[in-house]
Amino acid sequence: MIMERVLFIDAQPDYTRAAITENGILCEVMSEKQNAEDQTESIFLGRVQSIRNSIHAAFIDIGTGQNAFLPLDDDHTLRCGEHIIVQGAAKQATDSKGLRVQAKINLPGKWLVLIPESSGVHISKKIKDTALREELLALGQEICPIGFGMIIRTVSEEASEELLSHEAAALYEH
């Protein structure tokens, strides 16, 4: 017997819903509410246009017509004209202000967040079960790529080892 799987997606500005049917029977429904802190962040290769020491910031040309604002800390040693990889949520930009970006990149997934040029595996504090925390920590240490840190999100409580491993590999490849 041939199985027919159908995916339905309803994407609105403030939420996204998806449903999967198999042979006409609903088998999975997912819903996510979108708000400012949940917005997907984009990664840009930019060029430093100016550095303003008085406000501890740099302005980065990311190709959007307005320079992005990068707050600087004491660890940043940038020069005008230098290329830099930055990350920011595109919907934060306005007509009068450019996007606020950060130089520390996070690669978020549904269950995990990979952090390039970092180390260590961190488990969501909302996961209270000690045995599960230890199990997720051991798995995270096994699947976390070298040179990366990892955050295992609360929703990972319900994910299989295979899903977590697959997502870590997919985030690493992209």
pLDDT tens digits for 46-103?
Answer: 999 999 989 999 999 988 888 999 999 876 789 999 999 899 865 555 566 788 898 8
pLDDT tens digits for 21-57?
Answer: 888 887 777 766 665 444 557 888 899 999 998 999 9
- The pLDDT value recorded for residue 125 is 94
For residue 124, CA distances in Å to 27, 83, 162 come to 28, 34, 19
Instruction: Report the C-alpha gap between 19 and 16 in whole angstroms.
Output: 10
- The pLDDT value recorded for residue 30 is 73
140 band by pLDDT with thresholds 50, 70 and 90: very high
Exposure of 80 in the CB half-sphere (CA atoms within 13 A):
5
> Is the per-residue pLDDT at 1 higher than 70?
no
